[in-house]
Amino acid sequence: MSWLQPSGNKAEIGGAEDDLMRSLCTLLGVLTLLFMSPLTGAAHAQTGDPLDRAISALKGKFAEKSSVLFSRKTRQGFGSDATLTVVYGKHRFAANAGVRASDVAEVSTMGDEPVHFRMINIGRDTYTQGTWADVPKGKKWLHWQDADGFLWSQNLVDALNPKFLRLISRNAEKTSAKGRYDGVSTTRYDGLAEVGLLGSRQAGIYYGTKDGDWAGGRIKWKLWLGPDNLPRRFQAEIVHEPYGPEQRADTVRMNVLYRGWGTPVRIQAPSKNLVAEAG
């Protein structure tokens, strides 16, 4: 006799129905865990910032005290007043500091007058030499201590800066454009970020929140990531808003290539007998 057929015992029937309901609830709970959990995880992954993996990959390189080689071209201004700057360098990382040491050679040209500059940073110590520098006889370098204008920091417009990547990730869009840089295939992300403050120092262009009369601007960018989620190329058009009605916006165009991730680099201070203390 089927359990669905009445037996004449109401208590028995009620008990069977209770057992059935408990079994169904248990089964539904198991099915929910099996089928809904992966979907929930996938939905959560899709709502994360697009550049999360790049940020994690960078922090991993910092923790490894790894290194990278780079080249950068920037063009600022318009027409004959434009300045072209070409930079070649190498960075060494530290877990908490990001870029802890760097060796950078730079040539800036405005018109026909190239200006050469070299800068070595190790921790908070900076060594500079250039065609503009007034160095005592017999010396080739100037030493600066805690000179923030020369030091890499976490407010630079730089694809090696996790905080900057977090800023631009909010509006990042993955594109179908591909490219091959540093010997690997890349995926490109594009976006636009508006900031309340833009400025420039020797270490690079920096951004921040609105500060008094300082003008902000916008950063239109493209970022190419390798299969390891590390930056291989970064382009930006950075527009400084004018300070007043009689001024015009200033534009900087930047193109950076990164290569040789993990390549051992040697960055050391110049010989002491060639160094003079900066005034």
Same domain for 175 and 221? yes
Whether residue 227 lies inside any domain: the answer is yes
Whether residue 1 lies inside any domain: the answer is no
Summarize the confidence of residues 118-128 as an average pLDDT.
97
Q: Residue 142 — very low, low, confident or very high, per pLDDT cuts 50/70/90?
A: very high
Structure tokens at 13: 């029937």
Q: Identify the pLDDT of residue 246.
A: 63
Predicted confidence (pLDDT) per residue in 166-176, tens digit: 999 999 999 99
Predicted confidence (pLDDT) per residue in 186-223, tens digit: 999 999 999 999 999 999 999 998 877 667 899 999 99
Which residue type occupies 18? D
Predicted confidence (pLDDT) per residue in 49-95, tens digit: 789 999 999 999 999 999 999 999 999 987 778 899 999 999 999 99
* Between 151 and 15, the higher pLDDT residue: 151
Same domain for 87 and 119? yes
Summarize the confidence of residues 117-144 as an average pLDDT.
94
The answer on pLDDT for 3 being more than 50 is no
Whether residue 150 lies inside any domain: the answer is yes
Q: Identify the pLDDT of residue 48.
A: 64
**Gap between the Cα atoms of 3 and 16, Å rounded:** 8
**SS3 assignment for the chain:** CCCCCCCCCHHHHHHHHHHHHHHHHHHHHHHHHHHHHHHHHHHHHHHCCCCHHHHHHHHHHHHCCCEEEEEEEEEECCHHHCEEEEEEEEEEEECCCEEEEEEEEEEEEECCEEEEEEEEEECCEEEEEECCCCCCCCCCEEEEECCHHHCCCCCECCCCCHHHHHHHHCCCEEEEEEEEECCEEEEEEEEEEEECEEEEECCEEEEECCCCCCCCEEEEEEEEECCCCCEEEEEEEEEECCCCCCCCCEEEEEEEEEECCCCCCCCCCCCHHHEEECC
Same domain for 97 and 18? no
Same domain for 27 and 103? no
Whether residue 2 lies inside any domain: the answer is no
- What domain range is 36 assigned to? 10-47
Same domain for 113 and 197? yes
Task: Give the total number of structural domains in the chain.
Answer: 2
Same domain for 27 and 126? no
* Between 63 and 27, the higher pLDDT residue: 63
Whether residue 117 lies inside any domain: the answer is yes
The answer on pLDDT for 42 being more than 70 is no
The answer on pLDDT for 149 being more than 60 is yes
Sign of CA dihedral 43, 47, 50, 56: negative
Same domain for 112 and 34? no
Average of per-residue pLDDT values in the chain: 85
Whether residue 204 lies inside any domain: the answer is yes
Q: Identify the pLDDT of residue 17.
A: 47
The answer on pLDDT for 253 being more than 50 is yes
CATH number for position 84: 2.50.20.20
Q: Identify the pLDDT of residue 245.
A: 64
Same domain for 82 and 25? no
Summarize the confidence of residues 2-22 as an average pLDDT.
43
Same domain for 35 and 73? no
Summarize the confidence of residues 9-33 as an average pLDDT.
46
Same domain for 84 and 36? no
Q: How many CA atoms lie within 13 Å of 163's alpha carbon, on the beta-carbon side? A: 12
* Between 9 and 109, the higher pLDDT residue: 109
Q: Identify the pLDDT of residue 247.
A: 67
Q: Identify the pLDDT of residue 137.
A: 93
Q: Identify the pLDDT of residue 81.
A: 81
Summarize the confidence of residues 21-49 as an average pLDDT.
44
* Between 230 and 4, the higher pLDDT residue: 230
Same domain for 29 and 134? no
Same domain for 212 and 189? yes
Whether residue 61 lies inside any domain: the answer is yes
The answer on pLDDT for 20 being more than 90 is no
- CA of residue 138 relative to chain centroid, distance: 40
Summarize the confidence of residues 141-169 as an average pLDDT.
96
* Between 96 and 187, the higher pLDDT residue: 187
Q: Residue 250 — very low, low, confident or very high, per pLDDT cuts 50/70/90?
A: confident
Whether residue 3 lies inside any domain: the answer is no
